A = this chain, B = another copy of it.
């Protein structure tokens, strides 16, 4: 008997109070009571993105909100820059091309972050660029691009950030870093089932939107903002009522922990998992860098097929990881550690991963790897003891907090 343990970059495990929020009775959204929940969700999403910009919520997968960003920002023939160092960068190239945009690509090898000086050079070289698009956490390779540098490199044009697997895990400071449009969803570090996506939109992006001629309806930003500003705030189309209730509980939990603490936790999880992987004698696809906090990509020994390992881990240990898809599908697996994940989950994940590798004939040092991860955890504890400031960041488990969290479920508004 093994429990099902979800360790992909998304969807991610739900906190029990988020599961319980799905049992709140279905309700009509056209009420002041539900609008209060809806508004609180929007406010808490802004706090998550560290922005005061407008925030629009959509009932869709994230890709819908990506498409919406293209539709609402551009006209056919507009020239846009796309940072491309993985499957999701490639998706933006396809999306932009599909809508008749003229794409200037800044490409990098998969597994390496893009040097944002190259973006600055491209912006300088193409004065007709209206916007630049970048993926924050390139989930396909567990590589996080530097969004602060991206914001600086694109100062004169509209910057668009896809932070699908970054939001709520990897540091992102929308306003401080000057990011105009930030698009994401809720099924990764935001600990909510899939079905909700959102975008934050700066005044400069609204100005670009004013002249955007691409056709759009469902994802139209004006209609969405108008509905938000109505007497009873809502979405222009039927909202995903239960998912919004769940997101409400998840975000309140997240901000109870504190967004800065959430960033620290993910950095520490990333360090542990990378130390564990390296300690087993395996290789990382991307750098051993604190920025890569949400997901870890492991390059397997040649004798192991990633897809066989993924199946074996699920069948024999109940642990769901994922290969990297695309050209590296057979060689690379990805371990997700974002959202409702603590250090003991990281230890369990590494243990199953190592045991499964051994089952398949790989001489992974399971005990050594897990011990290395625990040494990292112990060092974090030691740091916390020595630095009171960090102690405050490492919020302890607190029975009162749990009670509060469940209380949220009982009174949704």
Spell out A's residues near B (CB within 8 Å).
1-5, 16, 19, 23, 257, 261-262, 265, 314-319, 340, 342-345, 347-348, 351-352, 354-355, 358-359, 366-368, 370-372, 374-375, 377-378, 381, 385, 395-399, 402
Contact = CB atoms under 8 A, between A and B. Distances in A.
Given A5-B344, A347-B351, A374 B385 contact: no
A367 B279 CA distance: 12
A358 B381 contact: yes
Contact of A397 (B318, B348, B398): B318
B367 A355 contact: no
Given A344-B352, A371-B371, 13 more contacts: A1-B265, A2-B343, A3-B344, A4-B397, A314-B399, A317-B344, A318-B397, A345-B348, A347-B348, A358-B381, A367-B371, A368-B371, A370-B371
A342 B397 contact: no
Contacts of A1: 257, 261-262, 265, 342, 395, 397
Contacts of A265: 1
B354 A344 contact: no
Contacts of A5: 344
A83 to B, nearest CB: 31
25 contacts: A1-B262, A1-B265, A2-B342, A2-B396, A3-B344, A314-B397, A314-B399, A315-B396, A315-B398, A316-B396, A318-B397, A343-B351, A344-B348, A347-B370, A351-B370, A351-B377, A355-B377, A355-B378, A358-B381, A367-B367, A367-B371, A367-B374, A368-B371, A370-B370, A370-B374
Contact of A355 (B23, B374, B398): B374
A121 B2 CA distance: 44
Contacts of A370: 347, 351, 367, 370-371, 374
A317 B377 CA distance: 12
A367 B367 CA distance: 7
A45 to B, nearest CB: 19
Contact of A2 (B2, B16, B316, B397): B397
Contacts of A359: 381, 385
Give the 10 A-B residue pairs with the shortest CB-CB distance, closest first. A367-B371, A318-B397, A344-B348, A2-B397, A347-B351, A2-B342, A315-B396, A367-B374, A348-B348, A366-B374
Most buried by B among A4, A261, A348, A359: A348
A304 B24 CA distance: 45
Contacts of A317: 344, 397
Given A318-B397, A381-B359, A344 B351 contact: yes
Contact of A316 (B318, B345, B352, B397): B397
B381 A340 contact: no
A387 to B, nearest CB: 15
Contacts of A385: 359
A231 B339 CA distance: 52
Contact of A342 (B262, B318, B377): B318
Most buried by B among A345, A374, A375, A377: A374
Contact of A3 (B316, B345, B374): B345
A193 to B, nearest CB: 14
Nearest to A22: B23
Contacts of A354: 374
Nearest to A385: B359
A19 to B, nearest CB: 8
A381 B399 CA distance: 37
A2 B257 CA distance: 10
B397 A374 contact: no
Contacts of A342: 1-3, 318
Contacts of A261: 1
Nearest to A371: B367
A402 B316 contact: no
Nearest to A264: B1
